[in-house]
Chain A
Amino acid sequence: MKTKRITASAVLAAAALIIFAVEAQLPPLVPIPGIKLGLANVITVFALYYLGAPAAAAILAVRIVLGSVLLGQVGAMLYSAAGGLLAFAVSALLKRAFPPERLWVVSVFGAMAHNVGQMAAAVAVTATPALLWYLPALLISGIVTGAFTGLCAQFVYRRIGLKKM
């Protein structure tokens, strides 16, 4: 059973990395710094429900570090990591209160937390509070993208998550 879990984690990490790499090739949807669909988040929230918090955290860490290195965006890794960390903490906490049928709600809160963490890192790094001007826009995008990726994860979970590992 343990081998199965490790294998599943590795497969999910690889899938997350591929999604991340492909999405990075798309031009920005809107010219606002920090907004993107965040498709790789589908894997993170799915793994959270499917494999539990520790495995999901490992998958997220692998994706952020390898993704930033492979795509040569180490400069942007800090924002990614700050957002990812906060989003994960919030999602892992909320997971206790929400059944898989409400997975999308967890995902929305996670996405908003991601944007808040990202923004906090950006303000800290650039020492420019003026960036906060973009926070409401980021929150709106978090709600929309979070609901979308959350629903994707929810559908995947409904199909293959029944045999819980």
Chain B
Amino acid sequence: MKTRGWLLLFTAVAALCLLFYVFAPKTGGSVVGIYQDGALVRTIDLAAVGESYELVLERNGSTNTILVEKNAIRVVAADCPDQVCVEHGELRDGASPIVCLPNRVVIKYLRDTDGVDAKAGSAG
């Protein structure tokens, strides 16, 4: 295959990947789940949050500090080197989860199919 053929192929693959995000389903709802090591450790209904507060998750001496506000949640501090979860900013709808790979933390909106009582209130 010529250079142009490969360029076309790779462009097509990239375009397909982009399309995924255009058509990716929105989750809706306001209930987020916080996972650590793959286990759901907390569910928070962001619409029901009154006073904002900070949550500190600890794992093997490493911590992630999560700021919970009304209708917003974000990681404000992490002692992992890459700071990807902090850079991520607020959790937006559209299924893009906040991830901290070094500390194995995932924060995402819950769907009905996540198998938990999504209305489980706001643990604080």
Contacts and interface: CB of A to CB of B under 8 A. Distances in A.
B115 interface: no
9 contacts: A27-B83, A28-B84, A32-B84, A75-B103, A105-B6, A125-B104, A126-B99, A134-B96, A136-B21
Contacts of A130: 95, 97, 106, 108
B10 interface: yes
B18 interface: yes
Interface string B71-102: 00000000011111101110000011101111
B80 A31 contact: no
B123 interface: no
B84 A31 contact: yes
A31 B87 contact: yes
Interface string A4-36: 000000000000000000001001100111100
A128 B18 CA distance: 22
Nearest to A121: B101
Given A31-B87, A128-B38, 16 more contacts: A28-B83, A31-B89, A71-B81, A75-B62, A75-B80, A79-B101, A127-B37, A127-B39, A128-B97, A130-B97, A130-B106, A131-B97, A131-B99, A140-B14, A140-B17, A144-B14
Interface of A: 24, 27-28, 31-34, 71-73, 75-76, 79, 102, 105, 108, 122, 125-128, 130-131, 133-134, 136-137, 139-140, 143-144, 147
Interface string B37-67: 1110000000000000000000000100000
A144 B24 CA distance: 22
Nearest to A138: B17
A28 B102 contact: no
Contact of B95 (A24, A27, A108, A133): A133
Nearest to B111: A130
Given A33-B84, A122-B101, A126-B104, A133 B37 contact: no
A136 B20 contact: yes
Contact of B38 (A105, A126, A136): A126
Contacts of B97: 128, 130-131, 133
